[in-house]
Amino acid sequence: MINITDINERIKTDFGDKASVAFEIFKDAIVKTDYLNHPRIIRCIIFLADKNIEKLKSHIQTAINDPRDVMFWAE
């Protein structure tokens, strides 16, 4: 799962009381799609989510389809 300090802190900061929901969403997605467990992809998804759980879900789905999309949009 996500074991990188800056990513964990960003999720906590961005999602506040919904951070546990965000972590769970990431966990479920990574279990199903192992290649999402890459810091660069996760950081891009968090950036694009803009502190919104629904956007988080949407960008995770986009990354499942093709992670290059979220990297392109975020970077």
Q: 45 and 75 in contact (C-beta within 8 Å)?
A: no
Q: Give tens-digit pLDDT for 13-66.
A: 999 999 999 999 999 999 999 999 999 999 999 999 999 999 999 999 999 999
The number of domains in the chain is 1
Q: pTM for this structure?
A: 0.93
R_g (Cα) of the chain, nearest Å:
11
Tell me the residue range of the domain where 58 lies.
Answer: 5-74
Give per-residue burial for 23-58: e unless 16+ CB within 10 Å, then b.
bebbeebbeeeeebbeeebbbbbbebbeeeeeebbe
- Could you tell me the sign of the dihedral formed by the alpha carbons of 16, 17, 18, 23, in that order? positive
